[in-house]
Amino acid sequence: MRIATFLLLSAWAIGARGEEGRFSKGLPDKPDYFPIAVWLQDVKNAPKYRDVGINVYVGLWRGPTEAQLDALDAAGVRLVAGQSRAALAFKDRPTIVGWMHDDEPDNAQALKGGKGYGPPITPDAIVARYREMREADPDRPVLLNLGQGVAWDGWFGRGTRTNHPEDYPRYIQGCDIASFDIYPACHSSEAVAGNLWYVPHGVERLRSWAGPERPVWCCIETTGIDNETRRATPAQIHSEVWMALIRGAKGLVYFAHQFKPRFVEAGLLADEAVAREIAATNRRIHELAPVLNSPDAPDAAEVVSENPSIPVASLVKRYDGDVYIFVASLRKGEASVRMRLSTGSDASVAVLDEGRELPASAGAWTDRFADYQVHLYRVRPRGR
């Protein structure tokens, strides 16, 4: 890229985002705000989704319309909308906080007339469309959702670009928020089925490609989708959510549809156990939003699995005088995990949502993990 062009684009991006790199009409930029979305749902259910902790809709069927925006406003839910000419007519509505790029352009694309599949949309085409979207509205971010090739190189649904992960850094140049989906709990391929670790693996890879300037979101399964023999359980959903957050996801998108044995658009709400778990998980995320939005503090603690075959992922934060350590097992099986504060100071450890208190003599303790289990620790120095 020529220097003059680079400087022009840089100035344009800074001007759109403001002095501190924020979009003036984008998502709320507050320490206590964390975006938790649902994909392509009817606005009539917006109050129910709000009640389980969802604050963003991504996509609308045949929208947005004024009535749909009014319904979302009434529920206090924001929208990432497809950017059509009709949608741009609502640029003055604060309901819209972002624009949705093509969904899964990295997958093989259906040919007209049902004649099979052609190659994916090229990264260059995605970048070109992104520039058009930003020119039409520079005040809101563009979200691009990619497919399961982000996490699984062998995903044959990419057609001619299967086993070509080198495409992704260029795709991500075509967005402001990078997202992806893979649904291992109900996956039909034995290479992925039940291997929940593909979710944090995808987040980790997407973050490496996106760099620090683009937040990464992650889609989470909530039903069996089109699998009639396997479906995501409440425990698996809880694990996937926290594994994604621990690996650095800055937003979530729940996929709520069920297609088989019958179509249920709001499958997340239709399963009481799933809805109850998601409500509890989202409530905890919102409570911890100031912690999740604070800088990482990897030097504050050490986390080590004592079973080499059961790796763990950890996220360490300092907030309001406490140290928060979120840990997830990344495989099936059991392991003891040792945790130690770098200060070596005595502390008390509260295991959030489990009603347990653990002593941490000299700042160290051990806990048990099994089958993708997650523990959330709030560590408080003695005497505080």
Write the CATH number for 215: 3.20.20.80
Residues 105 and 184 in one domain: yes
Question: What would the pLDDT profile of 185-228 be if each residue is shown by its tens digit?
Answer: 999 999 999 999 999 999 999 999 999 999 999 999 999 999 99
User: Using 50, 70 and 90 to split pLDDT, how confident is the model at 382?
Assistant: confident
Residues 126 and 35 in one domain: yes
With tokens 């040919």, the residue in question is: 111
Over range 157-172, report the average pLDDT.
Answer: 98
Residues 84 and 212 in one domain: yes
Of 7-11, 170-174, 355-359, 368-372, the one with minimum mean pLDDT is 7-11
Over range 155-159, report the average pLDDT.
Answer: 97
* 195 assigned to some structural domain: yes
Question: What would the pLDDT profile of 319-334 be if each residue is shown by its tens digit?
Answer: 999 999 999 999 999 9
* 180 assigned to some structural domain: yes
Residues 202 and 324 in one domain: no
* 17 assigned to some structural domain: no
* 9 assigned to some structural domain: no
Instruction: State the SS3 of the chain.
Output: CCHHHHHHHHHHHHHHHCCCCCCCCCCCCCCCCCCEEEECCCHHHHHHHHHCCCCEEECCCCCCCHHHHHHHHHHCCEEEEECCHHHHCCCCCCCEEEEEEEECCCCCEECHHHCCEECCCCHHHHHHHHHHHHHHCCCCCEEEEECHHHCCCCCHHHHHHCCCHHHHHHHHCCCCEEEECCCHHHCCCCCCCCCCCHHHHHHHHHHHHHCCCCCEEEEEECCCCCCCCCCCCHHHHHHHHHHHHHCCCCEEEEECCECCCCCECCHHHHCHHHHHHHHHHHHHHHHCHHHHCCCECHHHEEEEECCCCCCEEEEEEEECCEEEEEEEECCCCEEEEEEEECCCCCEEEEECCCCEEEEEHHHEEEEEEECCCEEEEEEEECCC
pLDDT given at position 344: 93
| Dihedral class, residue 339 (left if φ above 0, else alpha if ψ from -120 to 50, else beta) | beta
Residues 226 and 360 in one domain: no
Residue 313 to residues 157, 184, 248, 310, 369: CA-CA distances in angstroms?
29, 18, 11, 10, 12
Does the pLDDT of residue 79 top 70, yes or no?
yes
Closest by CA to 244, choosing from 40, 36, 31, is 36
Domain enclosing residue 109, as ranges: 28-292
Domain final residue pick, 292, 322, 348: 292
Question: What would the pLDDT profile of 229-284 be if each residue is shown by its tens digit?
Answer: 999 999 999 999 999 999 999 999 999 999 999 999 999 999 999 999 999 999 99
CA pair distance 329, 95, nearest whole angstrom: 38
User: Using 50, 70 and 90 to split pLDDT, how confident is the model at 354?
Assistant: very high
* 59 assigned to some structural domain: yes
Residues 160 and 185 in one domain: yes
Does the pLDDT of residue 20 top 50, yes or no?
no
With tokens 């039409």, the residue in question is: 136
Residue 159 burial (10 A CB sphere; 0-12, 13-18, 19+): middle
Does the pLDDT of residue 15 top 50, yes or no?
no
What is the pairing mode between strands 251-255 and 301-305?
unpaired
Question: What would the pLDDT profile of 99-113 be if each residue is shown by its tens digit?
Answer: 999 899 999 999 988
The CATH number covering residue 372 comes to 2.60.40.1180
Domain final residue pick, 292, 321, 348: 292
* 256 assigned to some structural domain: yes
* 2 assigned to some structural domain: no
pLDDT given at position 384: 65
User: Using 50, 70 and 90 to split pLDDT, how confident is the model at 65?
Assistant: very high
Residues 347 and 315 in one domain: yes
CA pair distance 15, 251, nearest whole angstrom: 24
Residues 258 and 306 in one domain: no
Domain final residue pick, 269, 292, 315: 292
Tell me which of 22 and 186 has the higher pLDDT. 186
User: Using 50, 70 and 90 to split pLDDT, how confident is the model at 4?
Assistant: very low
Mean pLDDT of the chain, nearest integer: 94
Residues 320 and 259 in one domain: no
pLDDT given at position 14: 37
Which pTM does this prediction carry? Answer: 0.93
Residues 211 and 271 in one domain: yes
Does the pLDDT of residue 127 top 50, yes or no?
yes
Residues 327 and 219 in one domain: no
- Count of domains for the chain: 2
pLDDT given at position 113: 86
* 1 assigned to some structural domain: no
Of 6-20, 109-123, 191-205, 303-317, the one with minimum mean pLDDT is 6-20
Residues 203 and 349 in one domain: no
